[in-house]
């Protein structure tokens, strides 16, 4: 298995170690490169270091040792506010981000706060809600919406900032099947537009179907890194990280099929 597949490296973590003030070591020598336009899912059990890693990308955390660079910029020398033009971060709980009284104002806040001209803000709002497929919610109050819709509004508010890198923390939490499919289409659109999308997720089906690369973490270290087919073909590594492969992959293993089964086409091909 190999690391970054992008044609141009955008994010580099070089031997990153992070120790919290209480002495807990959350990252232990993590080295990762992410190319521009890559779609990357970070998986692992709670406490594996996934969110700690993600918060290093936008400067919310700075490495105890090692380095993190985004487009060649060392994050240790920049504030989180200055890095907001490069890395958009969607928190797991949308209520940590939403505070406007109308969805249109919520989505416009980020690009307006970055100082963009009014006409660009308007275009970015329209583009973002189209990408996330929530154009019908523009006039609504965010807190009149259910959790799943609030999550989509929070995602649109970050997409509207038009950053080259976007981090989604547990994007499918609270989503039904149509909402998850919307998110899958969003990841594909953003990747096709040249944006790097990284998702922290416990949803293995979502990771396998919509991301070209999966990084598995355990105890603050990267233990697997490759395509979904490569990663989900390593049961011992997944077991070490307390990660269960997608349902079809488990079925294929139980049936003794030779290849890693990730979708119905794989299953039919293996049975024929």
Give the pLDDT score at 218: 96
Give the pLDDT score at 5: 45
Q: Is the pLDDT of residue 242 over 70?
A: yes
Confirm if 33 and 4 have CB atoms less than 8 A apart. Answer: yes
Q: Is the pLDDT of residue 266 over 80?
A: no
Pairing of strands 73-74, 9-19: unpaired
Confirm if 164 and 36 have CB atoms less than 8 A apart. Answer: yes
**Cα gap 6→81, rounded to integer Å:** 26
**Cα gap 48→233, rounded to integer Å:** 20
**pTM for this prediction:** 0.89
146 and 49: one domain? no
Q: Is the pLDDT of residue 150 over 60?
A: yes
147 and 224: one domain? no
Confirm if 104 and 139 have CB atoms less than 8 A apart. Answer: yes
> 158: pLDDT confidence band, cut at 50, 70 and 90?
very high
Confirm if 162 and 135 have CB atoms less than 8 A apart. Answer: no
158 and 26: one domain? no
Give domain status of residue 77, yes or no.
yes
Write out the residue range of the structural domain in which residue 155 sits. 87-162
CA dihedral 34, 130, 186, 113 (to 10 degrees): 40
State the alpha helices, DSSP H only, in the chain.
50-57, 80-83, 103-113, 118-132, 147-159, 177-192, 204-210, 228-231, 235-240, 247-254, 264-271
CA distances from residue 116 to 40, 68, 78, 79, 211 in whole angstroms, order as listed: 29, 27, 21, 20, 31
Confirm if 263 and 251 have CB atoms less than 8 A apart. Answer: no
Q: What sign has the CA pseudo-torsion 106, 111, 116, 122? A: negative
Residue 243 backbone dihedrals phi, psi, to 5 degrees: -115, 125
Give domain status of residue 250, yes or no.
no
Give the pLDDT score at 235: 85
56 and 91: one domain? no
| Residue in this structure with the two tokens 């990841």, named with its chain if needed | 187
62 and 93: one domain? no
Q: At what angle do helices 147-159 and 103-113 cross, to 10 degrees?
A: 30
102 and 73: one domain? no
Pairing of strands 87-90, 165-169: parallel
172 and 44: one domain? yes
CATH number, domain containing residue 172: 3.40.50.300
Q: What is the mean pLDDT of residues 147-170?
A: 96
> 3: pLDDT confidence band, cut at 50, 70 and 90?
low
Give the pLDDT score at 249: 67
């Amino acid at each position: 298995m190999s690391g970054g597949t992008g044609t141009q490296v955008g994010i580099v973590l070089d031997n990153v170690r992070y120790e919290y003030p209480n002495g807990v070591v959350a990252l232990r020598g993590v080295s990762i490169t992410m190319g521009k336009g890559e779609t990357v899912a970070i998986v692992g059990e709670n406490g594996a270091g996934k969110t700690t890693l993600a918060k290093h990308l936008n400067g919310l955390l700075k490495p105890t040792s090692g380095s993190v660079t985004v487009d060649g910029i060392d994050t240790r020398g920049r504030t989180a506010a200055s890095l907001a033009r490069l890395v958009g971060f969607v928190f797991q709980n949308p209520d940590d981000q939403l505070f406007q009284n109308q969805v249109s104002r919520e989505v416009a806040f980020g690009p307006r706060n970055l100082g963009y001209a009014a006409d660009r803000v308007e275009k970015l709002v329209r583009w973002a809600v189209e990408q996330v497929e929530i154009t019908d919610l523009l006039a609504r109050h965010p807190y009149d919406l259910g959790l799943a819709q609030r999550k989509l509004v929070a995602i649109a508010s970050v997409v509207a900032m038009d950053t080259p890198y976007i981090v989604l923390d547990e994007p499918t939490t609270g989503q039904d099947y149509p909402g998850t499919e919307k998110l899958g289409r969003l990841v594909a659109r953003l990747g096709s537009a040249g944006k790097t999308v990284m998702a922290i997720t416990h949803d293995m089906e979502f990771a396998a179907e919509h991301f070209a690369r999966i990084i598995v973490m355990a105890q603050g270290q990267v233990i697997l890194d490759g395509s979904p087919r490569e990663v989900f073909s390593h049961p011992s590594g997944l077991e070490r990280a307390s990660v269960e492969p997608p349902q079809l992959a488990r079925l294929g293993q139980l049936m003794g099929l030779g290849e890693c089964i990730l979708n119905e086409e794989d299953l039919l091909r293996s049975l024929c």
